[in-house]
Amino acid sequence: MSNKQTHRFQALTRRQLLKAGGASMLGGLALGAAGLSRQARAEAMPDKMPAKWDEEVDVVVVGSGFAGLAAAHEAAKAGASVALLEKMRTPGGNSIISGGVIAAAGSPLQAKQGIKDSPDSLYEDMLKAGLYLNQPELARIVADQSVETVQWTIDELGVEYSGLSHMGGHAVPRSYSVASGSGAGIIEPQLARLKELAVEPRTGMLLKRLLRDDDGRVKGVIVHRGFRHPDLESGTPVAIKARRAVVMASGGFGADPVFRALQDPRLGGDLDTTNQPGATAEALRAALHAGCILVQPSWIQLGPWTSPDERGFGMAPHFVQGVTASYGLWVDTRTGKRFVNELADRKTRADAILAAGNKTIAFADAKGYGKGTMDTSQQRLGRMKRSGALMEYGSLEEMARAHDIPVSELKATVKAFNDSVDAGKDSEFGRYMAANVDKIDTPPYYVMRLSPKIHHTMGGCAINSRAQALDVLSNQPIPGLYVAGEASGGVHGASRLGSCAYADCLTFGRIAGRNAAAQERWA
């Protein structure tokens, strides 16, 4: 501890003593401090504790996405009373609207399909995509526990999966696909199990402040009850005491242009996002105010598989990723040539699209569409066409005309790829070729235009392997505060791989919930 810091701590203690006004307090304090050794004291400005708490529970959980629900689940199972707070009118955050794939390396489904895989391989993929900025210890936990986490969703929650997907940047197909097709297929069973444990999310509850006492411990929260997004002053303040701990699972800031622009000035303003409107940074700001460390915030991921012809995430990813990345091609419309490995990680692909001035399309033929989607009734096809995102053409010539692509170049590109299919190896970009990849030659041809959108914020609060938040001055865990899911930073480094957020949020949510419930009570 530097002199200056020591000095400040002494100043605090003296103030406290004066406040308490007695020598007997001294013993108590000294004991308390010893009990908190190697944990951070509130050397940053401590908060005033409320004269009266409106409510008391063991564990306060902020946020009702994967991480928050998993934390609440483990805490309740361990016998803790839980207040589960959600600011929006519906629970689920980004999780409930998400794409429904979760990574598991070395899984039973892979074994059944003869796919060799291991946690080490997933870990390496995560670090490679993350440009080796990932905190190795955290990424390790996600990779090593990935199979156990998926198994937990099956055994404990009864989640149903329909098969494996191959997501960009992964060495092999390893991502379990939720049968119902979206994150709701996990959130709904999570909510149902929580209900059995007598925990229900309370909506319209906005976290305003984490209350950190001058002994350094987070002891509760100030929440606005009756909050109406986006008015941060709406609702009435309520003080909730957290006898054991607070778990911050408030998600990322993908829908907060002001905070985004602070981290990367190019990403402010009117850029579209795949995120829910409540994916904003006020909870993160409250955590920073309480002494958390913000790490890697300017790594903001753009999804490469979105379309400018519809809003938000939309239906494009199902086609662009699900169909064209494995069974079709992406081409630069100015050259008629491929410009990236369609199965590369997201950053590589989004950067390549941006470098081409977004003048790019993803396409597949009728056979490819059939292989890449479970849309046997073609219901989704109809919806994608009606929304204007998906275009259909009777021939490559027609497609080239409609998108201003040099037709002979386009045909040469398709021929080169078809030769690669024959050879069983992508000579141009080394793209992974599944055994069932076929030549592109059967009309109709389906096309989407590409335009990357804000998708994931890799940065957030620094945590350790127990999901404890670290203190900005001491770098020690902040007693009574856990952070999990997209609100934390460091797991994914520069770029998160597809299907790894689920694994991260559920794994660390559970870790946070267990540890929060096991934390010694202060009151």
Partner 1 sequence: MRQAQDRLGLRLVLLVALVGFAAGAAAQLDQHHALNDVPCQACHGAAEPPTAVATEQCLGCHGPLEDLGALTEKVSPTNPHSTPHGATFAECDLCHRVHGPSENFCAQCHDFKFTVP
Residues recognised as catalytic: 346
Cβ proximity to partner 1, 88 vs 207, nearer residue: 88
- Least CB distance from residue 452 to ligand FAD, whole Å? 13
Taking CB under 6 A as the criterion, the residue among 46, 65, 106, 220 binding ligand FAD is: 65
Query: Tokens 């890449």 identify what position?
Result: 372
Question: Given the rule CB under 6 A, which of 90-98, 352-360, 408-416, 513-521 is the region that contacts ligand FAD?
Answer: 90-98
Binders of ligand FAD among 281-310, rule CB under 6 A? 282-283
Taking CB under 8 A as the criterion, the residue among 90, 395, 408, 475 binding partner 1 is: 90
Angstrom distance (rounded) from CA 66 to CA 63: 9
The phi, psi pair for 33, rounded to 5°, reads -65, -40
Longest Cα pair distance anywhere in the chain, in angstroms?
A: 90
Contacts with 385 (C-beta within 8 Å, 6 or more apart), sequence order: 391, 392
8 A C-beta contact, residue 80 and residue 137: no
Taking CB under 6 A as the criterion, the residue among 144, 215, 375, 486 binding ligand FAD is: 486
Please work out the total of residues on this chain that contact ligand FAD, with binding judged by CB under 6 A: 43
Binding track, positions 159-198, relative to ligand FAD; x by CB under 6 A: ------------------------x---------------
Residue 336 CA to its chain's centroid (Å):
34
Binding partner at 486 among ligand FAD, partner 1, none, C-beta below 5 to 8 Å by kind: ligand FAD
Taking CB under 8 A as the criterion, the residue among 77, 128, 311, 337 binding partner 1 is: 311
- Least CB distance from residue 484 to ligand FAD, whole Å? 7
Among candidates 228, 126, 167, 236, which has minimal Cα distance to 495?
126
Q: Which residues of 126-139 are buried (b: 16+ CB within 10 A; e: fewer)?
A: bbbbbeebbbeebb
- Residue-by-residue DSSP string for 73-100: HHHHHTT--EEEE-SSSSS-HHHHTS--
Taking CB under 8 A as the criterion, the residue among 7, 14, 15, 89 binding partner 1 is: 89
- Least CB distance from residue 18 to ligand FAD, whole Å? 35
Binding partner at 311 among partner 1, ligand FAD, none, C-beta below 5 to 8 Å by kind: partner 1
Contacts with 265 (C-beta within 8 Å, 6 or more apart), sequence order: none
Binding track, positions 416-455, relative to ligand FAD; x by CB under 6 A: ----------------------------------------
Residue 251 interacting with ligand FAD (CB under 6 A): yes
Element of type H or E holding 303 = strand 300-303
Angstrom distance (rounded) from CA 347 to CA 275: 17
114: which 2 tokens?
A: 């003869």
Beta bridge partners of 363: 329, 447
Residue 387 interacting with partner 1 (CB under 8 A): yes
Residue 101 interacting with ligand FAD (CB under 6 A): yes
Taking CB under 6 A as the criterion, the residue among 46, 68, 189, 493 binding ligand FAD is: 68
Q: Which amino acid is at 232?
A: L
Among candidates 270, 253, 292, which has minimal Cα distance to 455?
253
Q: Which residues of 182-204 are buried (b: 16+ CB within 10 A; e: fewer)?
A: bbbbbbbbbbebbeeeebebebb
- Least CB distance from residue 4 to partner 1, whole Å? 48
Binders of partner 1 among 210-249, rule CB under 8 A? none
Cβ proximity to partner 1, 280 vs 296, nearer residue: 280
Residue 386 interacting with partner 1 (CB under 8 A): yes
CA dihedral over 64, 67, 69, 74, signed as positive or negative? negative
Binding partner at 191 among partner 1, ligand FAD, none, C-beta below 5 to 8 Å by kind: partner 1
Binders of ligand FAD among 489-518, rule CB under 6 A? 499-502, 505
3-state class of 377 per DSSP? coil
Q: How many CB atoms lie within 10 A of CB 304?
A: 31
Binders of partner 1 among 167-186, rule CB under 8 A? 180-182, 184
β-strand pairing of 460-462 with 488-489: parallel
Applying CB under 6 A, the residues found at the interface with ligand FAD are 62-68, 85-88, 93-95, 97-102, 183, 205-207, 249-251, 274-275, 278-279, 282-283, 313, 456, 485-487, 499-502, 505
Applying CB under 8 A, the residues found at the interface with partner 1 are 89-92, 96-97, 180-182, 184, 187-188, 191, 276-277, 310-312, 383, 386-387
